[in-house]
Amino acid sequence: MIQHNIRNIAIIAHVDHGKTTLVDEMLKQSGTFRSNEQIDERVMDSNDLERERGITILAKNTSILYKDVKINIVDTPGHADFGGEVERIMKMVDGVLLLVDAFEGPMPQTKFVLRKALESGIKPVVVINKIDRPEARCEAVVDEVLDLFIDLGADDEQLEFPVVYASAKQGIARYEITDTNQDMHPLLDMILAEVPAPEGILEDGLQLTISSIDYDKYVGRIGIGKITRGSIRKNQEAVLCTADGQFKNFRISKLYAYHGLNKVEMEEAQFGEIVAIAGIESLNIGETVCSTDKIEPLPFIKIDEPTIAMYFIVNDSPFAGKDGQFVTSRHLRDRLQRELLSNVALRVEDTDSPDSFKVSGRGELHLSILIETMRREGYELSVSKPEVIMRTIDGALCEPMEHVTIETPEEFMGVVIETLGQRKGEMINMFTNSNGSIKLEFRIPARGLIGYRSEFMTDTRGNGILNHIFDGYAPHKGEIKSRSRGSLVAFESGTAVTYGLYNAQERGSLFIVPGTEVYEGMIVGENARAGDIAVNVCKRKQLTNVRASGSDDSMRLVPPKKLSLEQALEFIADDELVEVTPKNIRLRKKLLDKHARAKATRG
């Protein structure tokens, strides 16, 4: 049996190629919103962090009604760090829209998300987006997409992919670039024609894979997934087939489906529909819900393993507990365990210390988003420098590699190649773009990229674009030179004053301003040379009849360098931590006492 009135699609693409904007237009032009309704841009990016950064972090569900067909849409992240979100979504859909920028063409993440779709046997619809860009090169990009399909081993049917040309920003989609229509209907018609309708047996027992988790403070955990077989009813008795092979009976207390941006309570739903269910707290991603009379779990969703790890540590600085509401190891453990329930690419391990947890993820951005989220929720913690996760393969020590794509003006090409060469990067491709910029491709150890992004932006004066994606494991490449400059470390606790900072800035660049509370062992700046220096930023001028405190006004301080969370994580050395609180981000030494640090250095 075929559900002709349903289509399930995911929208996949490299970051910033326009997925969320395209969903906005599909929602608007399908009549999902009232004509007088006030609509925000990027309505699917509901998370504060997503809106601030302009990226999608969590996969989200919505639906539209077009020509009496319900189209369930999943908007997925474009960053490689959130690839775990993309992988599990493939189990929920029957087709994908692959968005490609009409100028940039296929990028590293395009390759990653397309591989996941092809491995799942899904035939993509290719959407060449941003055709309104002056430098758009639509025909060449279609050829590049075809080459990418061939490289990834697409079968003959997948190679016959349909193409739509669109400008999500202008709200238009066209079969041919020369068409003149001013709406998205060609894309919507293409979805109905090319995306298969769900097939299944209605009379068979229920089978539903949990692909995503939501939470409601009234009904608890909510599992989201596609019904692959049979039907589901509210208050139905069902069986949860867990990852470790257990079977748990429960009753489906709530049943929802998606209509527009809202979850709507349902009494019943049939195979092919994407639904959300509640009724059991121990629900996890990848598990199968079955009817009691036919228990057949589906294969568990395989998720790529983490490549980066860092330690989350209970904050023990002199300022601990001043800002945060949740500060103990129990608070930290409970929050990390809760994150594991929905963040499938994350791993949390206990350590020898009850106050420290090893947290592993897909990349620096993946972990920094978690830290920033916890910080905004009132948590206070310290985190260590990110480190890559090594593996032993065939008796050899191997490390994760990254495929790096860089676009930069020609004048900065030399310094980029030299710096990445020092970080064990191997250039594999170089060519000139139609706008005169240079495109470089490297294969580099993941640890060679830690701390590089801020250096890259300095080297290219903000004109460069850097993208990278996991590219397997390779034998260890040897030692990579770490940070060449040391830290300026506060000599004593107190309040920073202009006089003390004026003397300290002669040694390097500062991170703080006058009036900042500091403690011994806190990092207040970057040394201009190698090695750490203790500086007394609290030192006041000795007052005499000749020298008055007002003369401090004539001392000119260089504006301090304000570090974001990602920049702080990139900056710190192995013996340093980032102290994260709801109101502050501070850098500090692991050992705050200068005598203890000196002793450890000698040891």
Annotated binding site for GTP: 16-21, 129-132
Alpha-carbon distances of 281 from 22, 255, 265, 338, 455, rounded to whole Å: 35, 15, 19, 12, 46
The β-bridge relationship of strands 391-393 and 387-388 is unpaired
Known binding residues: 16-21, 129-132
Q: Which helix (H) or strand (E) holds 415?
A: helix 413-422
Q: Is 589 helix (H, G, I), strand (E, B) or coil?
A: strand
Token pair 């676009």 is found at 407
What is the rounded CA–CA span in Å between residue 218 and residue 207? 26
Alpha-carbon distances of 319 from 49, 510, 553, 586, rounded to whole Å: 26, 20, 29, 10
Backbone φ and ψ of 183, nearest 5°: -140, 180
What is the rounded CA–CA span in Å between residue 80 and residue 86? 9
What is the rounded CA–CA span in Å between residue 477 and residue 399? 8
Q: Is 597 helix (H, G, I), strand (E, B) or coil?
A: helix
Q: Which two tokens stand for residue 555?
A: 């001392």
**Residues present in the chain in total:** 603
DSSP state of 192: H
Cβ neighbour number for residue 550 with a 10 Å cutoff: 7
What is the rounded CA–CA span in Å between residue 288 and residue 242? 7
Among 494, 502, 541, which Cα is nearest to 525's?
502
What is the rounded CA–CA span in Å between residue 133 and residue 118? 29
Cβ neighbour number for residue 517 with a 10 Å cutoff: 16
DSSP string spanning 464-521? -EEEEEEEEEEE--------SS-EEEESSSEE--HHHHHHHTTSEEES--TT-EE-TT
Cβ neighbour number for residue 42 with a 10 Å cutoff: 17
The CB-side HSE value for 544 (13 A sphere, CA atoms) comes to 3
DSSP string spanning 510-552? ES--TT-EE-TTEEEEEESSSS-EEE-TTPPPPP-SS--GGGG
Q: Which two tokens stand for residue 309?
A: 């790890």
Q: Hey, which residues does 399 pair with through a beta bridge?
A: 474
Q: Which two tokens stand for residue 313?
A: 């540590």
Backbone φ and ψ of 507, nearest 5°: -90, -15
Q: Is 313 helix (H, G, I), strand (E, B) or coil?
A: strand
Token pair 């400059």 is found at 485
